[in-house]
């Protein structure tokens, strides 16, 4: 049987707004398969986003969905999770939303280790506003605001998350579709703040400006640069040049925030007696 | 049994008012002169199973408050000055998505960092015009510790009843003064909870105008699931750019407050029956004004006080009616004329409006008001 | 014994014509017909599901 995505999509909401060849739809399918595999109740699942192309994802999902302000997804999601820790809370969004305007909320959600999974669709550009460079745009790349090439160095989003204290960090690509749901399932099952960075393509505002001939060329690049963590162990630094590690990059068990706050409640109630 | 009496600071009283109203969530960020609200909430909320979180910044705090409120919790934040500026983005989000919550903003000198420990009343315009776009505004301006406690309960009631963020704005003097407070018994002051859906989950729409201007609000994690967005939206919560719907929804959001102004507006009239010179004042300034009215009466000046307890919506009708029978208004305030301009708009030229403005971090002295009364009577 | 063929349903109103399914099908089952994807050679299908998984537009359903 074909997988029944319709079970999790709001009736009448497709086709979605994403451009032809944009990988966000591939990521959304991976998220749906993950939610299905985990057996989550739709009523008990909140999907929270900021602003941008990727942040339009919750509107299609038949769950409790919260399309917030630019960059604020992690902060809104923290409020939802704190107030109702029994809910499954998943953040989705893009690289600019999550790591530029939302960078502060993102790193502090990592630090707190609150049990939320944040899926960052990294297409290296602000797509919705027409292709301005983001904190993930490579140095030298063309964007509508870097007509002479980008002078900024980019973030390594996965490393940023690890450095900030996220206890589960994984990376996949839109090309490696079969891996996406597996990474998301593992991230959600992990107790604590988990980040799944999916390298994605924006053919419309990044590809065209940067001389990619087609969506296919962008997808092939994702295929070529991705090296699974295990395979990378056997490769020389020379061989790894220009490559990006994929799979589970970091995993650590640490106290989870809402569980720690439950202890605060116990202590406060004990002190009140 | 005798009621519980305490000697308490205003900010602490605001926190206890929130707890009385059933507040179960607080997110904030430290800022002078409002931090005591957060400190009390951090101690008291977990005792009642509530949640306190100190966020990474003011915007994050406001965001977490809206997130928590959407799960059905009564949620509070507190801030001052620059913090209010930062929160405005998400206050606008709360207005358009119609999520009940309360913001305690303790007014300090501004703009920018200004005078963090100095009193001010210069945020009242920010309560109405601070976030971009048209939106409803409810702002309460208590004048004593007891009133700050009670008005915080009312702020929650109004937020829940009208499904919108409500601001309560004590000036720094009211926030930091210590006074006697008598705590009401549980149930003594009415506590209002938001209307939840009566229809089935399949039929539920988060902005269903079939139920009037304030549609019922379901909670995330209940039997209902729905979409919330800061984009202009339709009754079902999904975005639209359809002109007729956007126009109607924008108008409804403002109307739900403006059309219920009589329910929201609260004020105190003091010696107004025969008054010729009327002081319009609020917050700590109204305490100087009351003293000034008493002094003026002793000196034979027919003075009175119209004390604002609700600043937004503004009691336009009441001020207009007064303007037809008095000789002059005096508007003392710790800013450069914010309330004065609003009063001038209400009186429509019927009587002169004389402002007394201080922005030097000192309260307005009763003598200043009495002197002005002598000048204009 | 005759091999049991899968069915590949293409929802034309969802297909945005990105070519991903056509290009990455390992056995070249699909082709573009105008702006939308279409089945050209079902016999060659090895039921790897990659076209369905990679379709960003929810436009392909493979039933094996």
Residues B274-287: pLDDT tens digits?
999 999 999 999 99
Q: For residues A38 and A181, what is the distance between their CA atoms, to the nearest angstrom?
A: 10
* CA–CA distance, C54 with C58 (Å, rounded to integer): 9
**By the CB < 8 Å criterion, does A239 face chain C?**
no
Count interface pairs A-C at CB distance under 8 A: 66
Is residue A202 within 8 A of residue A124, CB to CB? The reply is yes
* Residues of B whose CB is below 8 A from A105: 56-57, 59-60, 63
Report the alpha-carbon distance of residue A19 to residue B299 in Å, rounded.
78
Of A67, A82, A107, the CB nearest to B51: A82
pLDDT, tens digit, 9 for 90 and up, residues B239-266: 999 999 999 999 999 999 999 999 999 9
DSSP E strands, chain B = 5-9, 25-28, 51-54, 75-79, 101-105, 108-109, 115-119, 139-140, 165-168, 178-182, 227-229, 267-270, 277-282, 303-308, 310-312, 328-333, 353-357
Taking 90 as the threshold, does the pLDDT of residue B2 lie above it?
no
Pairing status of strand B51-54 against strand B5-9: unpaired
**DSSP single-letter state for residue B183:** P
Pairwise CA distance, residues A257 & A161, whole Å: 16
- Vertex B17 angle, CA A75 and B307, to 5°: 110
Cis (ω within 30 of 0) for the bond into A247? no
**Domains B5-182 and B268-376 equal at CATH topology level:** yes
Distances from the Cα of A238 to the Cαs of A171, A220, A222, A235, in angstroms?
21, 21, 19, 8
CATH number of B268-376: 3.40.50.920
Kindly tell me whether chain C and chain B come into contact, counting contact as 3+ Cβ pairs under 8 Å: no
**pLDDT averaged over 10-residue windows placed end to end, chain A, 273 residues:** 92 97 98 98 98 98 98 98 98 98 98 98 98 98 98 98 98 98 98 98 98 97 98 97 98 98 97 75
**Partner-chain contact A79 B75, CB within 8 Å:** yes
The CATH number corresponding to A7-272 among 3.40.50.170, 3.40.1050.10, 3.90.1150.10, 3.40.50.970 equals 3.40.50.970
The correct answer on CATH 3.40.1440.10 for the domain covering C7-63 is: no
Strand order across the A168-173 sheet: A226-228, A244-251, A168-173, A194-199, A117-122, A88-94, A45-49, A64-67, B227-229
Neighbours of B26 (CB within 10 A): 31
Picking from B357, B303, B359, the residue whose alpha carbon sits closest to that of residue B329 is: B303
| CA atoms of A145 and A247, how far apart (whole Å) | 33
What dihedral angle (degrees, nearest 10) is formed by the CA atoms of A139, A142, A148, A152?
-30
Domain ranges of chain A: 7-272
- pLDDT tens for residues B155-172? 999 999 999 999 999 999
Domain borders along chain C are 7-63
- Residue pLDDT, tens place only, B98-128: 999 999 999 999 999 999 999 999 999 999 9
Structural element, H or E, at residue C49: none
Interface membership of A62 toward C (CB under 8 Å): no
Contact by Cβ (8 Å): A145, A133: yes
Residue of C nearest to A173 (CA): C54
Torsion of CA A16, A17, A19, A23, to 10 degrees: -50
DSSP type of residue B46 = G
Kindly determine whether residue A66 and residue B228, on different chains, have CB atoms separated by under 8 Å.
yes
- Is C28 a residue whose pLDDT tops 90? yes
pLDDT score of C3? 73
Residue identified by tokens 């980008």 is A150
Instruction: Please say whether the beta carbons of A48 and A58 come within 8 A.
Output: yes
Q: A185: which 2 tokens? A: 């399932």
Nearest CB neighbour to C18, from listed A14, A15, A20: A20
Give me the residue label for tokens 């506003």. A129
Structure tokens that stand for B352 in this block: 């002169």
Q: Is B283 left (phi over 0), alpha (psi -120 to 50) or beta?
A: left
Apex CA B265: angle with CA B259 and CA B268, to 5°? 155
Q: CB distance B43–A268 less than 8 Å?
A: yes
Greatest C-alpha distance within chain B = 69
C-alpha distance from residue A47 to each of A76, A87, A180, B11, B69 (Å)? 11, 10, 17, 35, 16
Whole-number pLDDT of residue B377: 82
Quick: pLDDT tens for B297-351.
999 999 999 999 999 999 999 999 999 999 999 999 999 999 999 999 999 999 9
**Residues A11/C55, Cβ–Cβ less than 8 Å:** no
Alpha-helix residue ranges (DSSP H) falling in C1-64:
20-24, 50-54
Give the per-residue pLDDT at B321: 98
- Best of A10, A49, A59, A83 to substitute, by most chain B Cβ atoms within 10 angstroms, is A83
C13: left (phi over 0), alpha (psi -120 to 50) or beta: alpha
- Residue B78 forms beta bridges with which residues? B104
- Angle in degrees, CA B272, B277, B281, rounded to 5: 75
Instruction: Give the strand order in the sheet containing B139-140.
Output: B51-54, B25-28, B75-79, B101-105, B165-168, B139-140, B310-312
Fold of B5-182: Rossmann fold (3.40.50)
CB contact under 8 A, A78 and B227: no
Partner C contacted by A17 (CB < 8 A): no
> C38 near C18, Cβ under 8 Å?
no
Task: Decide: B29 and B64 in contact? Cβ < 8 Å.
Answer: no
**pLDDT of C1 higher than 70:** no
Residue A9: both structure tokens together: 């999509």
pTM > 0.95: yes or no: yes
Give the closest of A64, A108, A268 to B56, CB-based: A108
Q: Is the pLDDT of residue B1 over 70?
A: no
Q: pLDDT, tens digit, for every residue of B63-93?
A: 999 999 999 999 999 999 999 999 999 999 9
Chain A residue with CA closest to B201: the answer is A43
Distance (Å) from the alpha carbon of A84 to chain B's nearest alpha carbon: 7
Whole-number pLDDT of residue A2: 83
Q: Among A64, A87, A273, pick the best mutation site for testing chain B contact (most B Cβ within 10 A).
A: A64
Q: pLDDT of B19-50, one tens digit each?
A: 999 999 999 999 999 999 999 999 999 999 99
Cα dihedral A66, A67, A68, A70 sign: positive
Beta-bridge partner residues of B9: B178
List pLDDT tens digits, range B123-157.
Answer: 999 999 999 999 999 999 999 999 999 999 999 99
Report how far residue B66's alpha carbon sits from residue A75's, in angstroms, rounded to the nearest whole number: 10
C-alpha to C-alpha distance for B249 and B261, rounded to whole angstroms: 19
Label residue C4 by pLDDT band (50, 70, 90): confident
The full DSSP string for chain A is ----GGGGB-TT--S-SPPTT-THHHHHHHHHHHHHHHT--GGGEEEEE-SSSGGGGGGGBSSEEEE-STT-HHHHHHHHHHH-TTSEEEEEEEHHIIIIITHHHHHHHHHHT-S-EEEEEE-SEETTTT-EE-TTSPTT--BTTBTT---SPPP-HHHHHHHHT-SEEEEEESS-HHHHHHHHHHHHHSSS-EEEEEE---IIIIITTTT---HHHHHHHHHHHEEEHHHHHTS-HHHHTT-EEEEEEEE-----HHHHHHHHHHHHHHHH-
Chain A partners within 8 Å of C25 (Cβ):
none
Chain A residues within an 8 Å CB radius of B74:
none
Share of chain B above pLDDT 90, in %: 99
CA distances from A18 to A21, A71, A128, B192 (A): 8, 20, 10, 43
Best CA proximity match to A51, nearest among A76, A74, A68: A68
A9 touches C: beta carbon within 8 Å: yes
* CA separation for the pair C10, A13 (Å, rounded): 18
Residues of C with CB under 8 A from a CB of A: 9, 13-14, 16-20, 23-24, 50, 52-58, 61-64
Chain B nearest CA to A141, separation (Å): 32
Q: Where do the domains of chain B lie? A: 5-182, 209-262, 268-376
Cα separation of B8 and B144, whole Å?
Answer: 11
Confirm whether the ipTM is greater than 0.95.
Answer: yes
Q: Are A84 and B25 in contact (CB under 8 A)?
A: no
More confident residue, B362 or A2: B362
Can you give the pLDDT at residue B297?
98
- Of A44, A67, A75, nearest to B64 by CB-CB distance is A75
Which positions in chain C touch A175 (Cβ < 8 Å)?
Answer: 54
Residue A37 is predicted with a pLDDT of 98
Pick from A16, A20, A33, A215 the residue to mutate for testing the C interface (most C CBs within 10 Å): A20
d(CA B287, CA B148): 14
């Amino acid at each position: 049987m074909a997988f029944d995505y319709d079970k999790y999509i709001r009736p009448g909401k497709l086709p979605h707004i994403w451009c032809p060849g944009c990988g966000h739809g591939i990521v959304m399918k991976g998220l749906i398969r993950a939610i299905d595999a985990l057996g989550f109740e739709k009523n008990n699942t909140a999907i929270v986003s900021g602003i941008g192309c990727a942040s339009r994802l919750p509107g299609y999902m038949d769950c409790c969905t919260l399309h917030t302000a630019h960059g604020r997804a992690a902060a809104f999601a923290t409020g939802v999770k704190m107030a109702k820790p029994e809910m499954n809370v998943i953040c989705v969004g893009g690289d600019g939303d999550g790591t530029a305007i939302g960078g502060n909320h993102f790193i502090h959600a990592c630090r707190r280790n609150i049990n939320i999974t944040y899926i960052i669709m990294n297409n290296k550009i602000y797509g919705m506003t027409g292709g301005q460079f983001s904190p993930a745009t490579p140095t030298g790349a063309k964007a509508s605001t870097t007509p002479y090439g980008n002078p900024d160095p980019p973030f390594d989003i996965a490393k940023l998350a690890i450095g900030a204290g996220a206890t589960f960090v994984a990376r996949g690509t839109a090309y490696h579709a079969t891996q996406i749901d597996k990474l998301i399932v593992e991230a959600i099952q992990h107790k604590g703040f988990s980040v799944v960075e999916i390298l994605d393509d924006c053919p419309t505002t990044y590809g065209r400006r940067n001389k990619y001939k087609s969506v296919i060329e962008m997808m092939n690049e994702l295929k070529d640069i991705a090296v699974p963590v295990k395979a990378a162990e056997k490769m020389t630094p020379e061989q790894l040049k220009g490559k990006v590690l994929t799979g589970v990059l970091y995993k650590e068990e640490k106290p989870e925030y809402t569980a720690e706050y439950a202890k605060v409640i116990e202590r406060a109630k004990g002190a009140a007696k | 049994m005798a009621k519980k009496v305490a000697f308490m600071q205003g900010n602490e009283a605001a926190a206890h008012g929130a707890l009385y109203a059933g507040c179960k969530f607080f997110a904030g960020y430290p800022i002078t002169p409002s931090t005591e609200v957060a400190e009390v909430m951090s101690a008291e909320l977990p005792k009642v199973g509530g949640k306190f979180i100190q966020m990474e910044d003011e915007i994050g705090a406001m965001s977490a408050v809206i997130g928590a409120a959407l799960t059905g919790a009564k949620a509070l934040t507190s801030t001052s000055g620059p913090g209010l500026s930062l929160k405005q983005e998400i206050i606008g989000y709360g207005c358009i998505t119609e999520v009940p919550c309360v913001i305690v903003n303790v007014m300090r000198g501004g703009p920018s960092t200004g005078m963090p420990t100095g009193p001010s009343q210069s945020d009242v315009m920010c309560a109405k015009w601070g976030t971009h776009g048209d939106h409803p505004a409810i702002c309460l301006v208590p004048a004593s510790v007891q009133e700050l406690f009670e008005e915080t309960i009312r702020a929650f009631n109004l937020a829940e009843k009208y499904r919108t963020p409500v601001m309560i704005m004590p000036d720094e003097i009211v926030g930091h003064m210590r006074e006697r407070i008598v705590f009401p018994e549980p149930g003594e002051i009415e506590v209002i909870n938001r209307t939840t859906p009566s229809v089935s989950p399949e039929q539920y729409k988060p902005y269903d105008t079939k139920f009037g201007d304030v549609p019922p609000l379901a909670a995330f994690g209940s039997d209902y699931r729905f979409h919330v967005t800061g984009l202009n939206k339709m009754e079902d919560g999904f975005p639209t750019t359809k002109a007729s719907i956007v126009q109607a929804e924008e108008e409804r959001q403002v109307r739900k407050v403006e059309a219920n102004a009589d329910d929201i507006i609260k004020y105190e009239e003091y010696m107004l029956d025969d008054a010729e010179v009327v002081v319009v004042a609020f917050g700590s300034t109204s305490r100087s004004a009351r003293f000034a009215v008493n002094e003026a009466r002793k000196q034979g000046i027919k003075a009175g006080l119209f004390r604002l307890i609700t600043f937004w919506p503004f009691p336009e009708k009441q001020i207009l009616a007064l303007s037809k029978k008095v000789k002059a208004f005096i508007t003392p305030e710790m800013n450069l004329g914010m309330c004065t301009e609003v009063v001038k708009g209400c009186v429509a030229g019927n009587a002169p409006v004389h402002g007394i403005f201080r922005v030097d971090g000192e309260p307005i002295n009763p003598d200043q008001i009495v002197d002005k009364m002598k000048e204009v009577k | 014994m005759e091999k049991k063929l899968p069915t590949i349903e293409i929802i034309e109103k969802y297909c945005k014509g990105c070519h991903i399914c056509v290009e990455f099908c390992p056995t070249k089952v699909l082709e573009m017909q105008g702006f939308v994807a279409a089945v050209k050679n079902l016999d060659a299908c090895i039921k790897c599901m990659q076209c369905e998984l990679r379709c960003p537009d929810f436009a392909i359903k493979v039933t094996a």
